[in-house]
Amino acid sequence: MLLELNNIFKWVNQGGNRVFLLKDLNLEVEEGEFISIMGPSGSGKSTLLNVIGMLDGFQEGEYKFLDESVHAMKEKNRSKLYKEYIGFVFQAYHLIDELTVYENIETPLLYKNIKSAERKALVADMLDRFNIVGKKDLFPAQLSGGQQQLVGIARALVAKPKLILADEPTGNLNSNQGEEIMQLFKELNQEGVTIIQATHSETNAAYGSRTLHLLDGRRDHK
């Protein structure tokens, strides 16, 4: 078991009313799964990903990651945990504009205090694997959207996480580029990386091994 969410509630208070973002949500994820989360806008897809990624908290329920209770952890240990095991891919890529492709990919390694020689090897592996060696000295603004997302994925992968969280990874791409990215995810999954993606598209969802439907913050079992 990679992670387990039990009876998660998350809400915000709006004008005296309690608005539920996640309501009694349960989810178990085994290592090696490729899960797609679907649902209309505002159904809680992103919120769920943020909770899983430990970027955001919740009010009730419990969250276990590799049998450790995340909800009871201190901020410091929590960030240590996600630093170690989780990689993020964003719809808007979120590359650091001031850094080159190479440096963007290198950054997570820096924060993990990995030695220079090993860093070089790991980044070189990634560049090779995604065929972007020739672009390593370019800045994000000099790349197409598809290429930027490639770099985004390479950056998420370089620290060898167990879990990749992707929030609408193809949302800003055209269909060809989108397909390439999904194909890549499939390959990664086959190599053993667990992936959870949020998506609007049935086609993309189909790449996953199972699909989770959300509506108004709860599982939609229809």
Torsion, Cα 123 126 132 136, to 10 degrees, reads -10
Q: Does 73 bind another protein (CB under 8 A)?
A: no
Helix axes 145-157, 116-129, angle to 10 degrees: 140
Site string for another protein, 115-154 (x = CB under 8 A): ----------------------------------------
* 220, amino acid identity: D
The residue (of 47 and 170) whose beta carbon lies closer to another protein is: 47
Task: Single out the residue of 150, 159, 181, 205 in contact with another protein (rule: CB under 8 A).
Answer: 159
C-alpha torsion sign, points 108, 111, 113, 116: positive
User: Quick one: 79 or 201, whose CB is closer to another protein?
Assistant: 79
The answer to whether 58 and 24 are in contact (CB under 8 A) is: no
For residues 32 to 71, the per-residue mask of contacts with another protein, x marking binding by CB under 8 A and - elsewhere, is --------------xx-xx--x-xx---------------
State the DSSP string of 48-94. Answer: HHHHHTTSS--SEEEEEETTEEGGGS-HHHHHHHHHHHEEEEETT--
By CB under 8 A, is residue 112 in contact with another protein?
A: yes
What is the CA 126 to chain-centroid distance, rounded? Answer: 18
Taking the complex as a whole, how short is the minimal distance between the CB of residue 98 and another protein, in angstroms?
A: 4
Cα radius of gyration rounded to whole Å, the chain: 18
Taking contact as CB under 8 A, which single stretch among the options 36-44, 84-92, 123-131, 203-211 is the one that binds another protein? 84-92
Which residues are at the interface with another protein (CB under 8 A)? 46-47, 49-50, 53, 55-56, 76, 79, 82-83, 88, 90, 92, 94-99, 103, 106-108, 110-113, 155, 159, 167
